[in-house]
Amino acid sequence: MARSSGEIREAFLRFFEAKGHRIVASASLVPEGDPTLLFTNAGMVPFKNTFLGVETRGYVRAVTSQKCMRVSGKHNDLENVGRTPRHNTFFEMLGNFSFGDYFKVEAIEHSWELLTECFGIDPSRIAVTVFREDDEAYDLWRKKIGIPKKKIFRLDEAENFWSMGDTGPCGPCSEIHIDFGANSACNSAVCDPACDCGRWLEIWNLVFMQFDRDAEGKLTPLPKPSIDTGASLERLASVLQGVPSNFDTDLFRGIMDRIQEISKIKRGANVEHDVSMNIVADHTRALVFLIGDGVLPGNEGRGYVLRRLLRRAARHGVLLGIERPFLFDIGDAVIDEMASAYPELRDRRAYITSRIQREEERFLETLSKGLVRLEEDLAQLEKSGSKVLSGEAVFKLYDTYGFPADLTADILAGRNLKIDEVGFNTAMTAQRERARAAWKGSGDKRAAEIYGRIASDISTQFSGYSALAGASTIRALLVNGESRDVASCGDTVEVVVAETPFYAESGGQVGDRGTLRVSGGEVKIADTQRPALELVIHRGVVTEGEVRVDAEAELAVDADARAATVRNHSGTHLLHAALRSVLGSQAMQKGSLVAPDRLRFDFTHDAPVDDGQIEAIEDLVNRWIEQNVPATVREMSYPEAIESGAVAIFNEKYGDVVRVVQFGDFSTELCGGTHAVATGEIGLLKILSESGIASGVRRIEALTGLGALNHLREQENALKAASELLRVPVADVPARIEKLLEDRRAAEREIERLQSAERGEASKDLSRDAKQISGVRVVAARVAGAGAKELRGMVDDLRSQLTSGIVLLAAETNGQVSLALGVTKDLTDRYRASDLIREIAMVVGGKGGGRPDFAQAGGSDPSKIDDALERLEELIAGS
């Protein structure tokens, strides 16, 4: 009866498909458009708007195997992972959903049928829980299914009321547990499924979704009660394969083998080693899937979670005696295991493993230093007799050595010590605030509610792939976010119609602009947006008369702007294909902006793209343009599309039916955007710039069509102007400029030579005029047009001409005084240049200093230069 996890996943999906459910592909681990949630943490997350009635889909029953992460927020299992048999950070949640269709009866019947008939679990091993007040669910299990009373438990809200987060859809639930029989280690008075003794294993949770909870905690009934269920593949597999934990299932076999091979430690020999192996295996699965979904290590938000997981895993590697980067190797084993279910991992293999390796190397460099520091802290701690490491110490480890607090806590846990979490949090407040601000969301909830209401009874058809104009009825108007029947001249409006040729911003392509006309009124549309899947909002200003709900409108897209956007969008696809061809398939799209006047393309790549590569990319794209290859656009299911080699984009959310845009055999992408009929339309693609925008992410900006021509023309005009000024043909401009620069350098050298000759002459004159004071030859003179550097040169000249003597030169530049003073070596016992200059500088209101044989000074009073020169003579005469 032992089934492989692949078979379990497949059987689950097929079972519900046969019961009228649509099989929907897993969404990304990064939830789209939900800033309140770091990661998808349950199968229902991608359907949140469907449950809330904001979004409608072409079906009312769905079944999925959804990638989930529970490492943050309301559902955080991080501390449990590796230590309990049943918790993972990353896992796959199998679930069936009813969107206002069937409710409790079918949900309960289906689950029972699947577990007992299809999976063959002995009914006597099953126990269920219901929410204390949910008599309906109790009766269904008791009477309809026939579960004996002693196997049905009524539990409180803490156990049997499910919510996705602090706000959002929620409701009472009913959990299905496997009962492993009374456990001698259990010492609680009542051992029910809420007990943690190991007797019970929750495998499936059926949520009867009835409410939406708002920020104040108020529950509002959902438009139609719905069903959301979740059972992890990992737990089901552990039960159906009869193994003691998720980590002993076939999902982990290849991964554990690799860990044992590298560490040369056998599983089952030592409890702590087993825990470390579990953590390494679990966290590496999470790393692979997170990086595969476009998350990169960072210091905030999702990136920081990724970094923490990697560091914990690396640390547990050290506990297994592995002190070199190895997680990337485990990542390879994860991809081997999971690629049949997630083929995109295969394409991203090199990218994912190299990311892991790099981050690992970075961390291992500081790990040992950090551990030394921690040992010092712990020695101190022991002396003080405390069992709690201070918040500052924890923060210091975090800040200097990159030790996440949970890593430090994990290390301390092994020695029965704790960290001062409050103290750490205080020290972290600044960073936390920053991170929180970034995730707080935009406060768009009210707008979302209004759109939600509109979207629940209006859906907009898009006709703009083929048409740029069309007629339709106005279904709703919003002015300042309020629903209105009429909008008048000057109003800023949002218009909803039944069918529109306007493309709403998505997939990087900006929304269309244009005009909407009714009899007696006109709206200039500046932007088009899609706040819900089937709701299109035209934003603009009423420029004439008024517009009313139910009026017939003529909609016309700005055709020039659209055509320019189309060129840029198709250009982006060719650019993407050329990047992958020239740089390799690790160059994956990270984001893009496609507007009428420009295109921007962000992609993953580790090094700057050099000029030769840029040229090769431009050549390739323009050759494809020249070939005028027609576009083919097809619709198909997501798995079919991936199967056919289409490139899906990180973090994009795709429906079940996807659009595949293909140009020849070089570019196939999932894309909902508008495209050229054939590549020739693009005309020309010219790359303007290439730069780095984040670690491992590059950005290219480019132009197409007439935009590219205009850019080239501007450059040409600048060159022409240069050629006219230089009076040479354009082709000779660089050589001419080079020649001019060379001439200039020669002229500068000549000037320098003449000046120094002139100074030489001047020095000679001065040395001839040297005075004898107290038996010392003294030159004290003013020099015109010299700076500090020239003065120094002249002082040197004069010192050697005098053989023995003292020289003081002064110059004035820009109202400031420079002084330089030299003493020949034979006299430095009697006259120290640095002492003399101090006295003299005071005369011109300045300060100075230097060595015994040479000193310099500045001053602010040029009118006192003569006094300063005299002062030298006084000083020598007086000494």
Binding site for ligand ATP (CB under 6 A): 70, 77, 86-88, 91, 93, 202-205, 230-232, 234-235
- Separation CA 269–CA 279 (nearest Å): 16
Q: How far is the CB of 82 from ligand ATP (least distance, A)?
A: 11
Would you say 91 or 666 has its CB closer to ligand ATP?
91
| HEC assignment per residue over 75-96 | EECCCCCCCCCCCCCEEEEEEE
Q: How far is the CB of 343 from ligand ATP (least distance, A)?
A: 23
Q: How far is the CB of 316 from ligand ATP (least distance, A)?
A: 18
- Separation CA 749–CA 773 (nearest Å): 39
Q: How far is the CB of 677 from ligand ATP (least distance, A)?
A: 48
Would you say 48 or 87 has its CB closer to ligand ATP?
87
Would you say 51 or 363 has its CB closer to ligand ATP?
51
577 within 8 A of 589, measured Cβ to Cβ = no
Stated length of the chain? 879
- Separation CA 837–CA 844 (nearest Å): 11
Would you say 204 or 289 has its CB closer to ligand ATP?
204
Would you say 48 or 86 has its CB closer to ligand ATP?
86
> Exposure string (b/e) for 719-728, b if CB count within 10 Å is 16 or more?
eeeebeebeb
Q: How far is the CB of 231 from ligand ATP (least distance, A)?
A: 5
Q: Is the dihedral of CA 640, 644, 645, 647 positive or negative?
A: negative
- Separation CA 513–CA 524 (nearest Å): 8
Q: How far is the CB of 53 from ligand ATP (least distance, A)?
A: 23
DSSP state at residue 679: G
- Separation CA 110–CA 108 (nearest Å): 6
- Separation CA 706–CA 696 (nearest Å): 32
Would you say 111 or 472 has its CB closer to ligand ATP?
111
Q: How far is the CB of 317 from ligand ATP (least distance, A)?
A: 22
Q: How far is the CB of 360 from ligand ATP (least distance, A)?
A: 24
Residues in contact with 557: Cβ distance below 8 Å, sequence separation at least 6, in sequence order: 464, 468, 469, 501, 502, 503, 512, 513, 514
Would you say 77 or 179 has its CB closer to ligand ATP?
77
As given in the structure block, the two tokens for residue 318 are 């050290």
Would you say 93 or 335 has its CB closer to ligand ATP?
93
515 within 8 A of 525, measured Cβ to Cβ = yes
- Please state, in angstroms and as integers, the Cα–Cα distance from residue 539 to each residue in 478, 493, 856, following that order: 9, 6, 71
- Residue where the block lists tokens 């390799």: 584
Residues in contact with 447: Cβ distance below 8 Å, sequence separation at least 6, in sequence order: 481, 531
Q: How far is the CB of 315 from ligand ATP (least distance, A)?
A: 20
Q: How far is the CB of 114 from ligand ATP (least distance, A)?
A: 14
Would you say 91 or 112 has its CB closer to ligand ATP?
91
The amino acid present at 857, given as its one-letter code, is A
94 within 8 A of 26, measured Cβ to Cβ = no
- Separation CA 525–CA 556 (nearest Å): 9
Would you say 45 or 676 has its CB closer to ligand ATP?
45
Burial class (CB in 10 A: 0-12, 13-18, 19+), 75: middle
| HEC assignment per residue over 300-369 | CHHHHHHHHHHHHHHHHHHHCCCCCCCHHHHHHHHHHHHCCCCCHHHHCHHHHHHHHHHHHHHHHHHHHH
Q: How far is the CB of 279 from ligand ATP (least distance, A)?
A: 13
Would you say 74 or 266 has its CB closer to ligand ATP?
74
Would you say 78 or 843 has its CB closer to ligand ATP?
78
Q: How far is the CB of 384 from ligand ATP (least distance, A)?
A: 37
Output Rg (C-alpha) for the chain, integer angstroms.
38
